[in-house]
Structure 1
């Protein structure tokens, strides 16, 4: 592909884009504060001040605020916030999961200061009527929680979620695993979460996307030092983080813009491969050909004359193509298996990038000759990923980061694990897509993604770059659809005009 060049360059990384594990966060926070000779209590005061500034700006009309505290430093942040609100004439109360339990260290210092200036008793959370408040601040459980939350916490979480009030979570919604994003039995449903020093991986994907609400990052007074000390496990990315693609040369022609072959579309399933093909055209691929079942040729070509269609000479068209998309609408019958065997046999001997999705992944998952290549791109959802790793979809969702890593290690190429907070894992590292919305949970959306990736690669973008850029391009287009028309009723082809808009 030396005659073409298509780059997707990320802008310089901001602190808010680095992703950290909970253990590295806890260790790094202490080291960063020590390096700067800043007492950890001052870090807690800074967190409380950041919370106060947020509440003052975004909830100035809230007349009754309750802060629900736990017994650790997360609760300490809550007590600092309570003191600042009280000193600035807000009506605020503090309730605790266990008011009689003695706190330790900085959390105890913060609690004593609150009690001294307010002269208020700390309420018992189990008997506090949360419906009396219009803002609930969740400062119960922090990043160190592992295993199911206790019954006492679960009961409070249920009442918080049932209250008719806005909910602000401190650092992480109580009940969310800080590494995986999994709900630990029960978790607070926040409208907004303010997280401090470093972004924890568990805030970004899977169940967490339902519970975090609007995520805001506050580096505090040690954030820059922390980033120097601690190696992130990945990077949070959005379409807005990419530099615009370079303009095409004035003397270019369709042959310079890539040749893509899309393979799929068994009888009765022409729509899937048609969506892939048109998506590739909409992101700029110069020539797109579909190889499908003979019964599907008319449906694939209908009203889209720009897509070439065939059901013959598969080997010839694979040799013609710069990139192959394989799997949308493929099925798993004898035609599918025969087609799969031809594709696999060709790819074993020829170095060519292939994007595999849908039934292509299902066939790959139990085929004896596993295809491994750095040029491979796989785009499974949790059920497909489960089959590829011989586990259940629930096992995949329990730790999406580990699942993406295992897929990458097993198949050697580029893994794009779809879902809320899609994860890309390849030789460049791990990336989590911040874009996307629930309207994307509809038929054909993955087929469009496959076409987007194939179209970018055919134009000369590396498989690694295309995996990262394409994930954000696809989700970013869906966000524009939702902004214009809403999430409900979104269909996959709605993305086409916005894909074209974004690549330009």
Structure 2
């Protein structure tokens, strides 16, 4: 089962892995043609009612595979308004082959005829809301016909995720959907065929550029809508919490706060005027600070706990006491990780250990990434929290799903890159579910390192990654 948002991510990830959408469209159209052949004998009349997106493009391809039928392709709109290059190419192929094509530029001009089979390829999984014209008129004509109706991916007018419609919708007899079942199809009274169109398994496993589609921003958003992050750390070290907080800002958070001992607060503030620094009495975190930290965490969307914290007994006791009372979302890093296995907490945690820290927590590791993935998934399920285990291949799991990230390079063995990762992941956790946030955090951190390495090779530093994060997350802007 896959949602429309996840399907868009997987499509783009497949392209990143070398399987272009044009190739997927060819496979999709072929799958539709196979179902048409199952429903009608050669010589039957087939009407393909097509929108101007990739759903229509699938039907343009299908028409080429139906040469033994009397095929009529109805385009709802003008060819110059076809919205994607690959759909346009397949429309052009139909016209050059001189197949029967009809352009519907006004709903009053739509004439379905009396076909034996209708292929509904007007709208795909990414379209919601009530049908507009000419799709609404075409839908009424399809529903009034005696033809067998085959819908491409999802019946037009039906929400692929909910199965609901906001008005008229195509009443399909058969649905050909691609790659995986869509949730909304469970409530549709039609036979459903799930067609394998050649999307590799790794398009769902590896974190790739398609995952960036999750980062949608409303143009009418206000300050704070994309997250407030509190970083708790410092004492023995000053750079670590500053790196995490700055990374949170570079990864899209609106506000970044740092709570650190008063002995290092001035130094932490000196790293950037963009940080809001709150000082805690003393030279290290202690249980006496927990009530104050809980108050400060109250208005935050995510807390980062651990960068530069050190392993003082008082500090570790404070970590435990904080999470026993905290029920929000947090990224746990560095020395704070060692208390996680024994925690009794209502918080939602994303833990970011490297291999050594994972072993200290009680987890196991292996040489091959597939073996590591199985072990990480099992340990995440045991902990009840999301794990982002750093390595040449980062492995992310919440105990159910597993993602693997391959961005990054050997230059990132330099100190501080993990602090950047923790802050970036926290920013993403403000707006995404924990598994997606951790996976995309790993991708962005590694991709930032790759961007920097193109200029500086293996002489990069953690602060260089801060400038690389925006380009890694929003490469088209």
TM range (shorter): 0.5 to 0.7
1:388 maps to 2:361: yes
So what's the TM-score if we normalise by structure 2? 0.53
- Conserved in 1, the CA contact under 8 Å of 2:363 and 2:376? no
Q: CA deviation at 1:396?
A: 9.7
Q: CA deviation at 1:317?
A: 0.6
What does 1:57-456 correspond to in 2, within 5 Å?
Answer: 235-239=205-209, 242-243=212-213, 245-250=215-220, 252-266=221-235, 268-312=236-280, 313-347=292-326, 350=327, 352-365=328-341, 367=342, 369-371=343-345, 375-389=348-362, 399-426=371-398, 429-456=401-428
Q: CA deviation at 1:321?
A: 1.0
Deviates more, 1:239-248 or 1:324-333: 239-248
Q: Look up the match of 1:480.
A: 451
Distance 1:253 1:236 in 2: 33
- Conserved in 1, the CA contact under 8 Å of 2:332 and 2:352? yes
Q: CA deviation at 1:484?
A: 1.7
Q: Look up the match of 1:10.
A: 9
- Conserved in 2, the CA contact under 8 Å of 1:263 and 1:324? yes
Q: Which runs of 5+ in 2 are unaligned?
A: 19-194, 281-291
Kindly provide the CA deviation profile for residues 92-138 of structure 1, in whole angstroms up to 9, marking residues without a partner as x.
xxxxxxxxxxxxxxxxxxxxxxxxxxxxxxxxxxxxxxxxxxxxxxx
Distance 2:367 2:14 in 1: 32
Kindly provide the CA deviation profile for residues 158-215 of structure 1, in whole angstroms up to 9, marking residues without a partner as x.
xxxxxxxxxxxxxxxxxxxxxxxxxxxxxxxxxxxxxxxxxxxxxxxxxxxxxxxxxx
- Conserved in 1, the CA contact under 8 Å of 2:429 and 2:437? yes
So what's the TM-score if we normalise by structure 1? 0.51
- Conserved in 2, the CA contact under 8 Å of 1:265 and 1:329? yes
Q: CA deviation at 1:402?
A: 2.8
Which secondary structure does the structure 2 equivalent of 1:401 belong to?
Answer: helix
Q: CA deviation at 1:493?
A: 1.0
Which secondary structure does the structure 1 equivalent of 2:225 belong to?
Answer: helix
Distance 1:502 1:7 in 2: 20
- Conserved in 2, the CA contact under 8 Å of 1:382 and 1:396? no
- Conserved in 1, the CA contact under 8 Å of 2:363 and 2:379? no
1:496 maps to 2:469: no
Distance 2:215 2:329 in 1: 21
Q: Look up the match of 2:159.
A: none
Say which structure, 1 or 2, has more relative contact order (CA 8 Å, 6+ apart): 1
CA 1:447/1:337 → structure 2, altered by over 3 Å: closer, same or farther?
same
Distance 1:395 1:372 in 2: 33
- Alignment root-mean-square deviation, CA: 3.2
Q: CA deviation at 1:323?
A: 0.8
Q: CA deviation at 1:231?
A: 7.3
- Conserved in 2, the CA contact under 8 Å of 1:404 and 1:425? yes
Q: CA deviation at 1:444?
A: 0.6
Aligned residues: 282
Q: Look up the match of 2:129.
A: none
CA 1:409/1:241 → structure 2, altered by over 3 Å: closer, same or farther?
closer
Distance 1:408 1:420 in 2: 19
